[in-house]
Structure formats: C-alpha cells, structure tokens
C-alpha cells in the first residue's frame, strides 16, 4: 500500500501586519502541511535610518533611534547616546546613569510584555492574555509620559545624560508599580505555564540548539533560551550595572516555550534591578555640559547594550563634523531572523506562526 502522493506548493505569507509582526513576507514551500523550505523576504518597511543619520546632527539622531524598535525606544536611545559619548569622550553624571538604567529596565519589561501577549495571541488565546499584558505596559508608558511627555517614541536620552530629571510624581508612581508588578508577573506566568494548549503548542517546538544559536549570531532571550548564559549587562557591564545584583535566566531545551519563559523570568529580574537603583540613586546633575552641536574628533567606535531583543549596537565614524560620516546599526531583530529557516523545517503551518512569534521582531529595526 502506497502513501498519498503530494506535490510541493509554495505559498506567500504576507506582507501583512498581524501574523508576521510587521510588514514581513515569508515564501514557504509545503508538502501537504509540512514545511520543506522557507525564505524570509525583508525590505517592505525600509526607512533608510542609517543614511538619514548621516545628514542630521548627533542630537537630532536620537529621534531616529526611537522609530527603529518602537516597542523599546528607551533601549535604542541608550545604545546610541552611549556610542556618541564614547566617540566624544563625554562623562555621564552618576544620577543620569541610574535614571537611564531604570528606564532601560522598564522598557525591557514593557517589550517583553508585548512579546508574550502577542505570542499567546498567535497561538490562539485571543484577547485575554494580550489585554493583561497591555494593562501592565500602560502603567510603564504612564511613567514615560511623566518623564518626557511621550509614551512610545520618547527621545528622552541625550549625549551626556537625559533630557530632564525625574520629579516626585515619577518616583511615587514607580514605587507603586514596583510594589505591584511582581504579583501581576506571577499571575501571568501561572496563567500561561499551566495552560495545556500553550504547553502542547510550544514544548519541543522550533528548537534552536546552543551551537546553532552561537553560529548564527543570535543574542538576547533567544540565545539564553538555548542555554547560553550571555548577557552584556554581566559580560561587559555599562552604566552602573556592575553595582547591581541580578540573575541571568536560561532555558532548558531552546524551544518556543523556553523563549517566552525566559522573558517572563527576565521581567522579574528587571524589577530587582529597578528596586536596587531606587535604593542607590542620589541627587546630582542629570546631564553633562554638552553643546547642542556635538563635534567628536575624527575616529570611530562601536558600543552596544543588552536590549530587550538582544545586542543592540551602533557603529559611528566621525570626520570631525556635526554629523556622523557613517552610521551602522547592529539590529537584534534582523540578526535573530537568520536561523528562522532551520527552526521551521519539518513543522506545520500553525507551528510556523508560533515559532515566528517567539522570535519577537519589530520590522522598523529589521528594515532600518
């Protein structure tokens, strides 16, 4: 008795927004429902950020960084201004460093909440878990609004420090959030990790081995989910991270479940980091005396941070002018897509959406 004969069929998924997490296209070849080949296609949201940066002065470029990963603007601000400061020899006041770290960790929590909520939405848990995640994220966006008047594209950080100091309303609201957040994160983890459908759809699905993760240059929660304990905040501490005690969670198998579970654990660690920053921060200046038109001496540098999605780095070349001669961004969303084909082969259509969702990409950063 012979099996059913099928012929491969190539299907275009996208470019559309919901299931592909942005304007992103996948050319997928199926044998029945099994994926036998896959090609990701980028470029539908190309913004030319790196070339635009070469026509703006160093301070104006901060606004461009907001619009790459628009779910994690603070982290993009931090990576960029640190690169300018290294290139220009600018010393950042200690208070500003603490505020930056608090903002970066709040942004990590907000970004991971979106990654978790939309992954569950992709699995089929419509509305409820996503709205839970939005609820907590809104409280963080309220804090950002107190800081700078904006909620998404923030432009809060500046070469030499931050735009303005945090007032008493910010600190009071932050205390309330940090007191309540662990309870909500525990509730979210219980809601997810004990759900039979979530476990069936994510356990041992889309495995990325530690060797492959390293070979492909993957960073962030995806790398740590594959059992590689690498975090720039520990490996190459910046700002005041060397004064903070926190753990680096890692996964067990490198599957879809580990990728979202690591993010849940990282949010708990971010709460610990913020708590210590609140305890340690002292009064002082929030910005060095830096002119609006920064003119670094001719030279080049690369600086990176541990963003919510992985290593986010900026490479700048100065020719002594008010704009960078060259700007290049190491965008984790782009790099983390490189093992996508290997993770997808052999799985079904429904698994494809789940695996892609677990990578947590933002197309503004992919097509920068």
Per residue in 51-92, pLDDT (tens digit) is 999 999 999 999 999 999 999 999 999 999 999 999 999 999
Please give, one letter per residue, the 3-state secondary structure of the chain.
CCCCCCCCEEEEEEEECCCCCCCEEEEEEEECCEEEEEEEECCCCCCCHHHHHCCCCCCCHHHHHHCCCCCCHHHHHHHHHHHHHHHHCCCCCHHHHHHHHHHHHHHHHHHHHHHHHHHHHHHCCCCHHHHHHHHHHHHHHHHHHHHHCCCCCCCCEECCEECCCCCHHHHHHHHHHHHHHHHHHHHHHHHHHCCHHHHHHHCCCCCCCHHHHHHCCCCCHHHHHCCCCCCHHHHCCCCCHHHCCCCCCCCCCCCHHHHHHHHHHHHHHHHHHHHHHHHHCCCCCCECCCCCCCCCCCEEEEEEEEECCEEEEEEEEECCCCCCCEEEEECHHHHCCCCHHHHHCCCEHHHHHHHHHHHCCCHHHHCC
User: Is residue 319 pLDDT above 70, yes or no?
Assistant: yes
Closest CA to 234 of 250, 253, 257: 250
CA distance 117 to 129: 6
**Euclidean distance between CA atoms 341 and 360, whole angstroms:** 15
- What is the structure's pLDDT at 3? 61
Band of pLDDT at residue 18, cut at 50, 70 and 90: low
CB neighbour class for 293 (10 Å; exposed up to 12, middle 13-18, buried from 19): exposed
Class in CATH terms, 49-356: mainly alpha
- Beta bridge partners, 316, equal 301, 327
Q: What is the per-residue pLDDT across 194-253, written as a single tens digit (0 to 9) for each?
A: 888 899 999 999 999 999 999 999 999 999 999 999 999 999 999 999 999 999 999 999
Q: What tens digit of pLDDT does each residue of 255-276 get? A: 999 999 999 999 999 999 999 9
Mean pLDDT across 33-58: 92
Which pLDDT score is estimated for 348? Answer: 94
User: Considering the entire predicted model, what is its pTM?
Assistant: 0.95
Which pLDDT band holds residue 288 (cuts at 50, 70, 90)? very high
Mean pLDDT lowest for which of 6-20, 29-43, 287-301?
Answer: 6-20
Mean local confidence (pLDDT), 350-359: 92
Determine contact, residues 277/186, Cβ cutoff 8 Å.
no
Spatial neighbors of 104 by CB under 8 A, at least 6 apart, are 74, 75, 78, 305
Describe the strand order of the beta sheet including 299-307 as a list of residue ranges: 299-307, 310-318, 326-330
Residue range 171-198, pLDDT digits in tens = 999 999 999 999 999 998 888 888 888 9
- What are the pLDDT digits (tens) for 160-174? 999 999 999 999 999
Confidence of residue 2 (pLDDT cuts 50, 70, 90): low
Question: What residue ranges do the domains of the chain occupy?
Answer: 1-46, 49-356
pLDDT at 194: 83
Local confidence band at 1 (pLDDT 50, 70, 90 cut-offs): very low
pLDDT in tens, 102-156: 999 999 999 999 999 999 888 887 778 889 999 999 999 999 999 999 999 999 9
* Bridge partners, residue 318, by sequence: 299
For the chain, the residue count is 368
């Amino acid at each position: 008795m012979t099996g059913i004969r099928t012929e491969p069929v190539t299907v275009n998924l996208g470019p559309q927004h919901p299931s592909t997490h942005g304007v992103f296209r996948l050319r997928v070849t199926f044998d029945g429902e099994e994926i036998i080949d896959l090609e990701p296609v980028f470029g539908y949201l190309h913004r030319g950020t790196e070339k635009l940066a070469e026509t703006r002065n160093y301070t104006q470029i901060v606004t461009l960084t907001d619009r790459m990963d628009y779910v994690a603007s603070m982290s993009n601000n931090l990576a960029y201004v640190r690169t300018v400061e290294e290139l220009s020899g600018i010393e950042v006041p200690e208070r500003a460093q603490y505020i930056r770290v608090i903002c970066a960790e709040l942004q990590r929590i907000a970004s991971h909440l979106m990654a978790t909520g939309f992954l569950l939405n992709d699995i089929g848990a419509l509305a409820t878990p996503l709205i839970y995640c939005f609820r907590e994220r809104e409280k963080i966006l309220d804090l950002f609004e107190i800081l700078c008047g904006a909620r998404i594209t923030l432009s809060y950080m500046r070469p030499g420090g931050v735009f303005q100091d945090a007032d008493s309303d910010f600190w009071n609201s932050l205390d309330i959030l940090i007191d309540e957040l662990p309870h909500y994160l525990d509730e979210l983890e219980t809601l997810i990790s004990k759900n039979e459908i979530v476990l069936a759809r994510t356990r041992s699905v889309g495995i990325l081995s530690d060797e492959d993760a390293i070979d492909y240059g993957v960073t962030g929660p995806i790398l740590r989910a594959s059992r590689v304990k690498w975090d720039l905040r520990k490996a190459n501490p910046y700002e005041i991270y060397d004064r903070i005690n926190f753990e680096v969670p890692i996964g067990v198998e490198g599957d879809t479940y580990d990728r979202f579970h690591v993010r849940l654990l990282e949010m708990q660690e971010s709460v610990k980091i913020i708590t210590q920053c609140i305890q340690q921060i002292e009064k002082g200046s929030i910005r060095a005396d830096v002119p609006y038109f920064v003119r670094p001496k001719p030279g080049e540098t690369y600086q990176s941070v541990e963003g919510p999605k992985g290593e986010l780095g900026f490479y700048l070349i100065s020719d002594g002018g008010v704009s960078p001669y060259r700007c290049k961004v190491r965008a984790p969303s782009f790099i983390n897509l490189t093992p996508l084909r290997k993770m997808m082969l052999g799985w079904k259509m429904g698994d494809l959406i789940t695996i892609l969702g677990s990578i947590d990409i933002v197309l503004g950063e992919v097509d920068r």
